[in-house]
Amino acid sequence: MNTILDVCGLVKNFRGIVATDNASIGIRDGELHALIGPNGAGKSTLVNQISGEIRPDAGSILFQGHDVTQWPAWRRAQEGLVRSYQITSVFNEFTALDNVMLAVQARSGRNFASWRNVSHDPALTAPAMDALELVGLEGEACVQVSEMAHGARRQLELAMAIALQPKLMLLDEPLAGMSQAESESMTALLQRLKGKISILLIEHDMQAVFALADRVTVLVAGRPVATGTPDEIRTSKEVQDAYLGEPEDMI
Amino acid sequence: MSLSLVILQLMNGLQFGVLLFLLSAGLTLVLGIMNFVNLMHGSLFMLGAYFSAAVLGATGSFAQAIAAGVLGTLAVGLILERLVFRKLYARDHMYQVLATIGLILFFNEAVRVIWGSGSISTAVPEFLRGAVAIFGLPYPVYRFAIIVAGLLVGLGLYLLIHRTRVGILIRAGASNAAMIAALGINIRLLNTAVIGLGAALAGLAGLMAAPISSVQSGMGEPILIMTLVVIVTGGIGSVRGAFYGALIVGLVDTTGRVFLPVLLRSFMEPLKAQTLGAAVASVLIYLVMAAVLALKPQGLFPVRHG
Amino acid sequence: MKRLHKVLGGLGMAAAALATSAALAQDPIRIGFVGELSGPQAALGQDQYDALMLLVEQGGGKLGGYPVEILREDSQLKPEVAVQVTQKLIEKEKVSMITGLTFTPTAVAASKVAIANKTFVIGSNGSSNNMAGEGCSPYVFIVSWQPVPHVAVLAKYANEQGYKRISLMAPNYVTGKSFLSIFKEHFKGKIADEFYTPMSQQDFSSEILQIAASKPDAVFVFYPGGLGINFVRQYRQAGLGDKIPLMAHGSLDGTNLPALGDAALGFITGSIWAPDMDNAANRQFVEQFEKKYHRIPTMMAAQGYDAGQLIASAIAKVKGNVNDKEAFHAALKAADFPSVRGKFRFGNNQFPIQDFHVIKIVRDAKGRVNQTVIATPLKDAVDPFAAQCSMQ
Amino acid sequence: MVNNTYYPSARSVVSVVLLLGFLLVPFVAGMTGEGYYITFTTRVMIMALAASGLNIALGYGGMISLGHALYLGIGAYAAGICAFHGIHNGWAQLAIGLAAGGAVACVIGPICLRTSGMAFIMITLAFAQMLYFLIVTLDDYGGDDGLSLTARSTLPGLDVNNSTVFYYIAFAALMLTLFFTARMMNARFGRLIQGCKSNHRRMVTLGFATLRYRLAAYVLSALVCVVAGFLLANLVRFASPSYLTWMVSGELMVMVILGGMGTVMGPVVGAVVILLIEEIFSNVSLGLPGNLDSLVNNHWTAILGVFIVIATMSVKRGIYGSLPAGGRKP
């Protein structure tokens, strides 16, 4: 069971505030690893460091055995370390299909091609439609993103991540702001992806977390306080004090 | 190059720097707080010069001329804020650049319609005429007045920004405008106040520069470009950056023009040194800015944006 | 398509020929005026135009006894616009000649179009060394002046005054450098300082301080328009006004005097004309100009007026038939008109051969700051480029 | 799958009318014997070409460059300086101009692209000002007075001095640029550039090394402006520093943004509108009462200024940009 991602001793502080306090976390190949913690625990900051958008002050990040700590964000994405955003970050002027085709293009390259119309290039349109079908957006392929509902845009964000054929996906609260029906279909989708793509899932929806996660890490004040299977976390003492409160609230 | 000459040249640089500071202070706040690129700031400088020159010509009293220069541009600034700027705060920089270029074209012609195509004259006020000998060399009294007045206004601005409630609002706005709006501060009033402050300072700079330069249509643009260099070098939105930036650009520009040819003359024949020196001097401040931006894209004294 | 085009074209020509011969008297002669009428330097182009219109008004809408129509175009100090408006005047408005031309870039561009269309140019200011030299053309007559004698007159004056050391200053562009090099050629004494300032520099106090330090016998500078006002004012404010005599080109011409006021008193410049020149044509011109426009005429106005008088004399000679190119060319070359400068004739390159005077800024009889001639060191000066021109 | 039958939209109507108009001007001018309009329209097309060049960087790439007149100047002076040294072959001059323009763009491009927002606007303006001051001090190339071309550059097989032939050369250059821009912006490179404008941070985390592509777009837009400068110098037979002033860069921005940035025909519409305003208000007497006529003629730039302000505030995506677009049926 080798690990796909090894984060050791990561430290990051912003002008005195310690956002990441000597954090170490390992994600096994094909695992869906959930990262939970109260607001302000530093979850997003940790993901931003793993994705390469923020440089850590200390510690190292190993991805598939390579030390990627110094790599720029785009190079990590090329290697299959892909992320989605807590606040939806997509291309509003384009249609849903165009958005996903850009993700496909990021993987397939030939970016200087200046003649062939992308919408006539099956190498782009086919994988893009597949990704849209996977998240259930094939009906809205030609709708401009600025006119899409919030939930649909979260699904699009995921479709783009999938279209990148990632080895590890960092999902930052994919279910945020989704209706009950949408989050159920998203959870079903993540269930299907488990095993094929390893996932680091940040989520507040405890039902989804405990339904999906192989293992859970609890982050408090920038430091992982506990890691284990969902059951172990549910019953562990430290987690309750720091985060979950009385056991009965949780069930 | 006697020592006294060096000191006098530095004073010239200081005087030009002070003038640039009056222009940059207002513009950097407008850019920092409202994220509004106001290229017509140079036109306000021109209007300040025209208003004061016209009133001085008519009434002959320097006090009324100052009032006309400052209040006139303040009025123009507030009217424009109401009619044009307010609609553009939310828009992208491109549209702001465009609208303010349109205003530059308009004001350059408007002054020609009112005051004619030639340049109009305005004399140095009686009590500031003549030159005073420093280290045996004549130095115009009026330029002293500009340095002193500019530094006083600078001090006043510093106190306003760092010691008063309005100042706190302005600094908070510079670092995170959305936040203070959320706190219930009347952001619309603050915007108007900052534009007004910027316009008044530009008008003051204009009326102070009027007696030592030609008051003519289009006089605002060359100094506008220097002002933009100052605020980008100093750090957008920071008055401290504008102050130090203005002094740096003022000194570099003046001393570059004077000392560069002398430096080149040591290993080049005089005429070549002169022309090359002047050519390099005219692009010196751009080189300085490009260097600063290449090393610190946020400028020398960046405001920490929340 | 081509055939139809040719037929229509042919028809057009026949109609035009018919028109000119039959209705010679009624149809006004159409004259195109091209100049810088907008932007910061608009005052110069405006003076050329106002003087020309003054002459037309004095002739009751006629020049040389024949009705004329002046079509005015603004070349905006942009060569591409100068080409465009000149072509419009020649092809669309069918003018028979172009006059005006304020600045060198637009003057050169416009003249090229006129020469290509075999249309006469009577330029009342802008010209280039090439136009006086190899590039001279029978179609181009310039009534203004050539830089070399214009500057040499002050150098000659400096020699006569016995100045030994002189400081020089000019903006760091082609015209600035050529003015100073012409001065150095003709001045016998030593050069104390030589400063070139960047184009955008408005503040000359640093350089003025250095001049004060080197204490020369006199100073010669070239600063046009607004730069000139800045320089003269700062020179006066630095207290050098009455200590070191100042000779300046471009700074002390008529358009700047109102803005300079007393600051200019006592300073020297060189020119081909001054408002107080003692000849009948000039007295009448200055008086009429001040009555109509309420300002003292400048050298640009004088040149515009002379261009008008030249055209009028030529029209009278060819009795209005300006389309007879040989006759009109000869009439223009004869330059048989009472110039406000007194003496005026054309050299082989159709640039003027004229006297150059030294002008002092004084307070005139009416208490206004004005120009007066104090010496004429250069008589019947021929510009050095005339030799390079192949015309006789 | 996706079919893209266009339904005729206002935009395609305007484009066809405009392009046909350009095609027919020489014939109409020939018949009415007013060759003047050939020169005027040539200038309009050359400025439209420069605006289309800027559109690649500004409209599609989101790079607010206030210094593209720099490349217009390089193109013009390439023609001027080569002619001065006796090289009259048009292709050679153009090749030298493109090489020089490309080199300059490759040097200052990376420096500019390190900055963003206001700093980017300022640094592009600064580099253009530097070249302006440099050219003004070059004595042997005419400096401030500009440099006149003894003759138009020769293009083998074409009689360049015939204004109609030169008209169609400019027309062909504009058409080629518009066609390639349209193709490119729907191809991978164009999509990438537009993605960077829409959401640069997301493009990076998708795995695009964005700098090289944005630099390529910047250099490409510079080269188109070099061609426009080369044509302008040949149209006027004159290369002058006035092509490099920052107001010309501003004018190009006005044409792109008011026309409709990020569209193919936007800059062309912008160029036509701006230059028509100049032509109508500066020289044509409108028969207005009293001396208002001469007031308008003397101060037409004030009217242009007011037009720009009002148009910027009211027309959100530009004159052409706000027209309903042709769409692809899903």
Name the residue among B204, B209, B211 with its Cα closest to residue B223: B209
The complex scores an ipTM of 0.82
Of A71-85, A92-106, C30-44, D161-175, minimum mean pLDDT range: C30-44
Mean per-residue pLDDT of chain C: 86
- Neighboring chain C residues of B117 at a CB cutoff of 8 Å: 40-43, 46
Q: What pLDDT was estimated at residue C14?
A: 46
Band of the pLDDT at C23, cuts 50, 70, 90? very low
Mean per-residue pLDDT of chain D: 87
In tens, the pLDDT along C355-369 reads: 999 999 999 888 888
Q: Token match 């999938």: residue? A: A162
Our CA dihedral for B276, B282, B284, B286, rounded to 10 degrees, sits at: -140
Q: Do A91 and D198 touch (CB under 8 A)?
A: yes
* Residue B304 in domain: no
Distance separating alpha carbons of residues B20 and B241, to the nearest angstrom? 12
Q: Do B225 and D117 touch (CB under 8 A)?
A: no
Rounded to 10°, the helix D36-55/D210-236 angle is 170
User: Which ranges constitute the DSSP H helices of A116-213?
Assistant: 122-135, 150-163, 180-193, 206-212
C69 touches C28 (CB < 8 A): yes
In tens, the pLDDT along A89-142 reads: 999 999 999 999 999 999 988 899 889 999 899 999 999 999 999 888 889 889
Q: What φ, ψ does residue B162 adopt, rounded to 5°?
A: -100, -10
- Neighboring chain B residues of C172 at a CB cutoff of 8 Å: 275, 278-279, 282
C169 touches C204 (CB < 8 A): yes
The CB density around residue C114, as the number of other CB atoms within 10 Å, is: 25
The arithmetic mean of pLDDT across residues D4-25, rounded, is 80
- Neighboring chain B residues of C42 at a CB cutoff of 8 Å: 112, 117
Letter string b/e over residues D2-32, b meaning 16 or more CB atoms within 10 A of that residue's CB: eeeeeeeeebeebbeebbeebeebbeebbee
The arithmetic mean of pLDDT across residues C271-277, rounded, is 90
Position with higher pLDDT, D242 vs B100? B100
Position with higher pLDDT, D289 vs C321? C321
Q: Do D207 and A93 touch (CB under 8 A)?
A: no
Position with higher pLDDT, B278 vs B55? B55
* Residue C209 in domain: yes
Position with higher pLDDT, D226 vs C4? D226
* Residue C390 in domain: no
* Residue B305 in domain: no
Whether residue C226 is found in the same domain as residue C365: yes
Q: What pLDDT was estimated at residue B83?
A: 92
Band of the pLDDT at C306, cuts 50, 70, 90? very high
Q: Do D308 and B229 touch (CB under 8 A)?
A: no
- Cβ contact A–C (≥3 pairs, < 8 Å): no
Q: What pLDDT was estimated at residue A242?
A: 67
Whether residue C104 is found in the same domain as residue C214: no
Rounded to 10°, the helix D36-55/D163-186 angle is 20
In tens, the pLDDT along C196-249 reads: 887 667 778 878 888 888 889 999 999 987 788 889 988 888 888 888 999 999
- Neighboring chain D residues of C84 at a CB cutoff of 8 Å: 36, 39-40, 43
Q: What pLDDT was estimated at residue A128?
A: 93
* Residue C7 in domain: no
Band of the pLDDT at C25, cuts 50, 70, 90? low
Whether residue C259 is found in the same domain as residue C380: yes
CA distances in angstroms from B183 to B167, B173, B186, D137, listed in the order given: 16, 11, 9, 55
Residue A40 has pLDDT above 70, yes or no: yes
DSSP B118: S
CA distances in angstroms from D312 to B93, D260, D266, listed in the order given: 12, 11, 14
CA distances in angstroms from B8 to B134, B139, B144, C49, listed in the order given: 8, 8, 11, 45
* Residue C12 in domain: no
Distance separating alpha carbons of residues D317 and D315, to the nearest angstrom? 6
Distance separating alpha carbons of residues B223 and B213, to the nearest angstrom? 12
Domain coverage including residue C105: 27-145+278-346
Q: Do D64 and B286 touch (CB under 8 A)?
A: no
Percent share of chain C, pLDDT over 70: 92
B127/D contact by beta carbon, under 8 A: no
Count of structural domains, chain C: 2
Residue B132 has pLDDT above 90, yes or no: no
B198/C contact by beta carbon, under 8 A: no
Q: What pLDDT was estimated at residue C5?
A: 46
Distance separating alpha carbons of residues C150 and C222, to the nearest angstrom? 12
DSSP class per residue in A3-38: EEEEEEEEEEEETTEEEEEEEEEEEETT-EEEEE--
Name the residue among D6, D46, D1 with its Cα closest to residue D227: D46
Residue A239 has pLDDT above 80, yes or no: no
* Residue B26 in domain: yes
Residue B225 has pLDDT above 80, yes or no: yes
- The whole-angstrom distance between residue B130's C-alpha and the CA centroid of its chain comes to 25
Residue A178 has pLDDT above 90, yes or no: no
- Partner-chain residue, chosen from A110, A114, A119, that has the shortest CB–CB distance to D190: A114
The arithmetic mean of pLDDT across residues D96-124, rounded, is 91
Length of chain A: 251
- Neighboring chain C residues of B121 at a CB cutoff of 8 Å: 229, 258-261
- Cβ contact D–C (≥3 pairs, < 8 Å): yes
C63 touches C56 (CB < 8 A): yes
Strands C165-171 and C218-222: parallel
A143 touches A135 (CB < 8 A): no
- Neighboring chain C residues of B139 at a CB cutoff of 8 Å: 209
Residues 240-279 of B with CB under 8 A from D: 275, 278-279
Residue B34 has pLDDT above 90, yes or no: no
Q: What pLDDT was estimated at residue D328?
A: 45
Residues 126-165 of B with CB under 8 A from C: 129-131, 137-140, 142-143
Position with higher pLDDT, A99 vs C25? A99
What 3-state class would DSSP assign to B215? strand
What does the block give as tokens for C60?
Answer: 């009751």
What does the block give as tokens for C335?
Answer: 């330059």
The arithmetic mean of pLDDT across residues B277-304, rounded, is 82
Q: Token match 């949780």: residue? A: A250
Our CA dihedral for D42, D44, D50, D53, rounded to 10 degrees, sits at: -100
Q: What pLDDT was estimated at residue C22?
A: 46
Check which CATH number belongs to the domain holding B174 and give it. Answer: 1.10.3470
Whether residue C43 is found in the same domain as residue C125: yes
What does the block give as tokens for A54?
Answer: 């923020």
- Neighboring chain B residues of C38 at a CB cutoff of 8 Å: 109
Of B272-286, D62-76, D238-252, minimum mean pLDDT range: B272-286
Residue B78 has pLDDT above 50, yes or no: yes
CA distances in angstroms from C172 to C169, C226, D145, listed in the order given: 9, 15, 12
Q: What pLDDT was estimated at residue A250?
A: 46
- The whole-angstrom distance between residue C280's C-alpha and the CA centroid of its chain comes to 21
In tens, the pLDDT along C93-123 reads: 889 999 999 988 889 889 988 998 899 999 9
The arithmetic mean of pLDDT across residues A67-76, rounded, is 92
Band of the pLDDT at D71, cuts 50, 70, 90? very high
- Partner-chain residue, chosen from D43, D142, D300, that has the shortest CB–CB distance to C80: D43
Q: Do C198 and B278 touch (CB under 8 A)?
A: yes
Whether residue C169 is found in the same domain as residue C258: yes
Whether residue C42 is found in the same domain as residue C110: yes
Band of the pLDDT at D7, cuts 50, 70, 90? low
Whether residue C178 is found in the same domain as residue C262: yes
For residue C207, what are the contacts with CB-CB under 8 A and spacing of at least 6? Answer: B258, C169, C195, C197
C11/B contact by beta carbon, under 8 A: no
Position with higher pLDDT, D289 vs C157? C157
Band of the pLDDT at A251, cuts 50, 70, 90? very low
In tens, the pLDDT along A163-172 reads: 999 999 999 9
Check which CATH number belongs to the domain holding C292 and give it. Answer: 3.40.50.2300
Position with higher pLDDT, B85 vs D118? B85
Whether residue C82 is found in the same domain as residue C174: no
Percent share of chain C, pLDDT over 90: 42
Whether residue C94 is found in the same domain as residue C195: no
In chain A, which residues fall in CATH 3.40.50.300?
A: 1-80+166-251
Residue C251 has pLDDT above 50, yes or no: yes
C195/B contact by beta carbon, under 8 A: yes
DSSP C355: E
- Neighboring chain D residues of B99 at a CB cutoff of 8 Å: 308-309, 312-313
Q: What pLDDT was estimated at residue C101?
A: 93
- Neighboring chain C residues of D232 at a CB cutoff of 8 Å: 80
Distance separating alpha carbons of residues D202 and C233, to the nearest angstrom? 58
Domain coverage including residue B46: 3-118+127-295
C146 touches C385 (CB < 8 A): yes
Burial class (CB in 10 A: 0-12, 13-18, 19+), D238: buried
Q: What pLDDT was estimated at residue D6?
A: 52
Distance separating alpha carbons of residues D149 and C22, to the nearest angstrom? 41
Count of structural domains, chain B: 1
Mean per-residue pLDDT of chain A: 87
- Partner-chain residue, chosen from D34, D144, D236, that has the shortest CB–CB distance to C83: D236
Q: Do D4 and A73 touch (CB under 8 A)?
A: no
Q: What pLDDT was estimated at residue D2?
A: 42
Letter string b/e over residues B270-286, b meaning 16 or more CB atoms within 10 A of that residue's CB: ebebbbbbbbbbbbbbb
**CA angle C205-C206-C207, nearest 5°?**
95
Residue D130 has pLDDT above 80, yes or no: yes
Q: What pLDDT was estimated at residue D103?
A: 96
Distance separating alpha carbons of residues D221 and D72, to the nearest angstrom? 11
C203/B contact by beta carbon, under 8 A: yes
Whether residue C100 is found in the same domain as residue C76: yes
Whether residue C47 is found in the same domain as residue C112: yes
Q: What pLDDT was estimated at residue A68?
A: 92
What 3-state class would DSSP assign to C18? helix
Whether residue C107 is found in the same domain as residue C255: no
CA distances in angstroms from C321 to C24, C187, C311, D19, D33, listed in the order given: 8, 48, 12, 44, 23
Superfamily in which the A1-80+166-251 domain is placed by CATH: P-loop containing nucleotide triphosphate hydrolases (3.40.50.300)
In tens, the pLDDT along B172-202 reads: 877 777 787 788 778 788 889 889 999 999 9
**In the A/D pair of chains, how many CB contacts fall below 8 A?**
105
Band of the pLDDT at B49, cuts 50, 70, 90? very high
* Residue C17 in domain: no
Q: What pLDDT was estimated at residue B306?
A: 46
